Chains A and B, each alone.
Chain A
Amino acid sequence: MSVLVEKADLSLKYISHYNKVKEILFEGSSYVLNDVRNRAFQDFIIQGIPTQKNENYKYTNLNPRFLPDFEFVHHKENNNVDIKTVFRCDVPQLNLEPRLIFNGWYHRISNESLNLPEGVILCSLAEIANNNPDLIKEYYGKIAKTDSDSMVALNTAYAKDGYFLYIPKNVIVEKPIQLINFLQAETDTFVTQRNLIIIEQGASTNLIFCDHTLNLNNYLNNSVTEIFVGENANLDYYTLQNQHNRTSSINSVFIQQERDSVATTHTYSLHGGLIRNNLKFVLNGENAEANMYGMAFLDRKQHIDNFTQIIHAKPNCQSNQVYKNVLDGESTGAFSGMIHVVRDAQNTNAFQQNNNLLLTDEAKMQTKPQLIIDADDVKCSHGATVGQIDEEAMFYLRARGIDEDKARLMMMNAFAHDVVRKIKVEALGNRIDELVEKRLNGEIARCHECAYNCEM
């Protein structure tokens, strides 16, 4: 019984905090955000922080992650961080002008040159919501439903800022857009980030989103991103998760695609304490294609849970998923992927693959691929494996004089390469190949030169 009380207490903390800061939350926020705030809050009260009894959170215990006495960031902080000194993106040739999200708030870097094509908007969500609510009100909160996931509810209740990206009709953004997500505070901090991406008909872009943590406090980052991909539009969305072991990251991404569009997500989890990636695709127009690729390397007591859902709501669509995990140390991994083909979504092709390597006896993997198929003219398949490296291939390599450790490394690289080769930004692909190799070699694979150079 005491567990129950504790659990209720835990949610209570976040409930009472809302009531305490309610005015601050509403103040200065656009009606677009405020209109759904109370409803979201009620949905959170009903659902509470999910426990492992919740089928969707069966493999991830969030509760301890909510325990620290967090500070909240309800205001944009003045930050004097000189991006050049704490961060240097070392992806060669990528040559981007990164934008910054600081503890959930979008920051304009003073002399940032907005070298984006005409009509493209990249700015703070709070700003666009206040200045041009009409642009976003059709989209905000439309696919990130607050009644089916309490983390989305909590995000929507607390949401004040994040980034907003808008690519108008037929605009092709050639250069990848990079966003850096920083966590840095004086104390343990709870961060809420809310993002919105609208890609109109015929438009196209690559977005690279990198996570970084700058000091050793406990962080809990609860972010929600809604992405609308218009007819015949194209999106490649890269996420590089690279945070320290005291960070918990709950990352919910919702993507709705219209006909003839292609959307691809690439999720690289190189480091992190607890990572929960919720990724939901709705294929809302015929002939749309969705691809989801994920690769995670974990060690120590790290935990990753990739939770994907793909709804084939219209006929003639295609989806691919490949998720791979390499688990070392006492790390634990979970994958739960659901493919739902609704009635009459004929001629659907849906493919899903989840492969996992356990490197130690302490590492654990739980996987739950699911198919819910209500149309008949479909080709759907999923496969999941948990195991070690193919012994026959190992023998072949060793018989050619390659020693066991090196052979193992080659095999692990090969295992990862399947996913890495899907990266279309070449410089990024090469860099990730390198990072993967470093990571597998046991070198710390931070993808930036962190000024703090912590070992967490």
Chain B
Amino acid sequence: MLSIKNLYASVEGQEILKGINLEIKPGEVHAIMGPNGSGKSTLANVLAGKDDYEITADEITFLGENLLDKSPETRAKDGLFLSFQYPVEIPGVPMVNFIKTAVNEHRKHRGEKELTAGEFLKLMRKKMELVELKTKLTNRSVNEGFSGGEKKKNEIFQMAMLEPKLAILDETDSGLDIDALKTVANGVNALKSPETSSIVITHYQRLLDYIVPDFVHVLYHGKIVKSGGKELAFELEEKGYDWIKKENGN
């Protein structure tokens, strides 16, 4: 699915990612944890194609193709979805218009015909139920005036609409109450299949109770310094990051 070899990324001369290696196979769930500022969101942004960074890598392939050559929209249409840590508000762009355009762009890319207004509305209603997103939200502009939790739900709603192959969830659990957390997790799990994979970036073990990872990685100072099974998340929850920091001479 995704293969990252020796990825470096820097911004304004400051190196943030310092040699990331990661291999994700179809059907796998990978959790990435790590202290604030360690580079988690940067990794997610780089994969989604944000061009703020200077990037070098031996290789990054997504579904067997070179990822770095592609525009953000092509990556998205190929099936890479990023749930943003801080979804941006876009005043004036109506939510419905936005998501309809996105869905139809994806369909065109796959050689499918565009949805009619009726089909689209039906699909939208179905997916909204899935994440319990209120109708009033889709009547507004993209993310405008949404609460923190509503923004996160909206991300998962969009993910459900777009049915990606690889979903990167950047702290999708932050700011969610416990019920919302379950709903979001259910939404994510509903989309799980042997062909799809996800990267779950989080600070909390509790999300991983609902979305069970196959692997847990610890990102620290721009490097994956530890990888393990789901027990690693428990260990981190219990002990914090100090021991990791010590092990890595800091």
CA distance A402 to B87 in the complex (A): 16
Is B76 a contact partner of A395 (Cβ separation < 8 A)?
no
B76 near A401: Cβ-Cβ < 8 Å: yes
The closest CB in chain A to the CB of B84 belongs to: A396
Report the nearest A residue to B158, measured CB to CB: A400
Complex alpha-carbon distance, A413 and B91, angstroms: 11
Query: Which residues from B are CB-within-8-Å of A411?
Result: 90, 93
What residues on A are CB-neighbors of B109 within 8 Å? 401
Question: Can you list 28 A-B contacts with CB-CB less than 8 angstroms, sorted by A residue number?
Answer: A395-B48, A395-B72, A396-B84, A396-B88, A396-B90, A397-B102, A398-B71, A398-B73, A398-B76, A399-B72, A399-B81, A399-B82, A399-B84, A400-B102, A400-B158, A400-B162, A401-B77, A401-B109, A402-B98, A402-B101, A406-B105, A410-B93, A411-B90, A413-B92, A413-B93, A414-B91, A414-B141, A417-B92
User: Given contacts A400-B158, A403-B71, A415-B92, could you give 8 more A-B pairs where the C-beta distance is less than 8 Å?
Assistant: A397-B90, A397-B98, A397-B102, A399-B82, A400-B98, A401-B76, A402-B102, A417-B92
Q: Select one of A398, A406, A417 contacting B49, CB under 8 A.
A: A398
Q: B90 — nearest CB in chain A belongs to which residue?
A: A393
Give the top 7 A-B pairs by smallest Cβ distance, nearest first: A414-B92, A401-B76, A398-B72, A400-B102, A414-B93, A401-B77, A398-B73
Question: CB distance B101 to A410 under 8 Å?
Answer: yes
Interface flag for B203 (CB, 8 Å): no
How many residues from B make CB contacts under 8 Å with A? 30
A393 and B162: CB pair below 8 A?
Answer: no
In the bound complex, CA of A406 to CA of B84 (Å): 21
Q: For the complex, give the distance between the alpha carbons of A169 and B142 in Å.
A: 44
Contact pattern, B 129-158, Cβ under 8 Å of A = 1, otherwise 0: 000000000000110000000000000001
Which residues from A are CB-within-8-Å of B98?
397, 400, 402, 410
The residue that B105 contacts in the complex, of A390, A392, A402, with Cβ under 8 A, is A402
A411–chain B nearest beta-carbon distance, Å: 7
- Cβ contacts under 8 Å, B82 to chain A: 399
Whether the pair B101, A406 counts as a contact (CB closer than 8 A) is yes
Q: Which residue from A401, A413, A415 sits with its C-beta under 8 Å from B162? A: A401
User: Which A residues are in CB contact (< 8 Å) with B76?
Assistant: 398-401
Shortest CB distance A62–B (Å): 34
A-binding residues in B (CB < 8 A):
48-50, 71-73, 75-77, 81-82, 84, 87-88, 90-93, 97-99, 101-102, 105-106, 109, 141-142, 158, 162
Determine the residue in chain A with the shortest Cβ distance to B103: A401
Name the A residues within 8 Å of B92 (CB-CB).
413-415, 417-418
Please measure, in the bound complex, the distance between the C-alpha atom of A82 and the C-alpha atom of B142, giving whole angstroms.
Answer: 47
> Are A403 and B73 in contact, CB atoms less than 8 angstroms apart?
yes
Interface size range on A against B: 20 to 34
A404 at the interface (CB under 8 A from B): yes
Q: Which of B49, B73, B77, B97 has the most CB of A within 10 A?
A: B73
The A interface, classified by DSSP as helix, strand, loop or mixed, is helix
Task: Judge whether A396 and B87 touch: CB under 8 Å.
Answer: yes
Across the two chains, which residue of chain A brings its CB closest to B89?
A393
The distance in angstroms between the C-alpha atoms of A432 and B109, with both chains bound, is: 31
Give residues 143-183 of A contacting B (CB, 8 Å).
Answer: none
* B73 partner, pick from A402, A410, A417, beta carbons under 8 A: A402
Using CB atoms, name the residue of chain A closest to B86: A392
Looking at the complex, which one of A398, A401, A418 makes contact with B106 (CB distance below 8 Å)? A401
Look across to chain A and name the residue whose beta carbon is closest to the beta carbon of B48: A399
Docked Cα-Cα span, A413 to B101, in Å, equals 14
Question: How far is it, in angstroms, between the C-alpha of A400 and the C-alpha of B141 when the chains are bound?
Answer: 16
A393 with B105: CB separation less than 8 A: no
Query: Is B73's CB under 8 angstroms from A404's CB?
Result: yes
Chain B residues whose CB sits within 8 angstroms of the CB of A406 once the complex forms:
101, 105
Shortest C-beta distance, A43 to chain B (Å), equals: 44
Residue numbers in A under 8 Å from B50 (CB-CB): 395
Contacts A395-B72, A410-B97, A413-B92 given; does A401 touch B102 at CB 8 Å: yes
Contacts of B105 in A (CB 8 A): 401-403, 406
CB distance from A8 to the nearest CB of B (A): 49
Closest Cβ of chain A to B174, distance in Å, is 18
By a CB distance below 8 angstroms, the chain B residues around A396 are 84, 87-88, 90, 142
- Quote the shortest CB–CB distance from B100 to chain A (angstroms): 10
| Nearest chain B CB to A372 CB, angstrom units | 30
- Which residues in window 410-438 of A have CB below 8 A to B? 410-411, 413-415, 417-418
Contacting residues of chain A (350-394) with chain B, CB-CB under 8 angstroms: 390, 392-393
Residues on B with beta carbons closer than 8 Å to the beta carbon of A392: 88
Q: How far is the CA of A411 from the CA of B102 in the complex (A)?
A: 14
> Nearest Cβ in chain A — how far from B88, in angstroms?
5
> What are the residues of chain B within 8 A of A399 when measuring CB–CB?
48-49, 72-73, 75-76, 81-82, 84
* Whole-angstrom CA separation of A399 from B90 in the bound complex: 14
Give the interface centre of B49, B76, B99, B158 by most chain A CB atoms within 10 Å. B76
CA distance in complex: A327, B98 (Å): 24
Instruction: Write the chain A residue with the least CB distance to B82.
Output: A399
Query: Cα distance A285–B74 when bound, in Å?
Result: 58
Q: Which of A393, A403, A415 contacts B88 (CB 8 A)?
A: A393
Which residues of the other chain, A, contact B75 by a CB distance below 8 angstroms?
399
* Chain B residue nearest in CB terms to A406: B101
Contact: B90 with A414, CB < 8 Å?
yes
Residues of A within 8 A of B77 (CB): 401
Report the bound CA distance from A406 to B81 in whole Å: 19
Contacts of A395 in B (CB 8 A): 48-50, 72
B76 to chain A, nearest CB (A): 4
A73 to chain B, nearest CB (A): 42
Residues of B within 8 A of A414 (CB): 90-93, 141
Residues in chain B near residue A407, CB distance under 8 A = 73
Q: How far is it, in angstroms, between the C-alpha of A400 and the C-alpha of B102 when the chains are bound?
A: 6
Contacts of B142 in A (CB 8 A): 396
- Interface pair B71/A404, CB less than 8 Å apart: yes
A101 to B90, CA, bound (A): 42
Residue of B nearest to A415 (CB): B92
| B72, B84, B98, B106 pick with most chain A CB within 10 angstroms | B72
Complex Cα distance, B73 from A400, in Å, reads 6
Q: Please report the C-alpha to C-alpha distance between residue A209 and residue B137 in the assembled complex, in whole angstroms.
A: 37
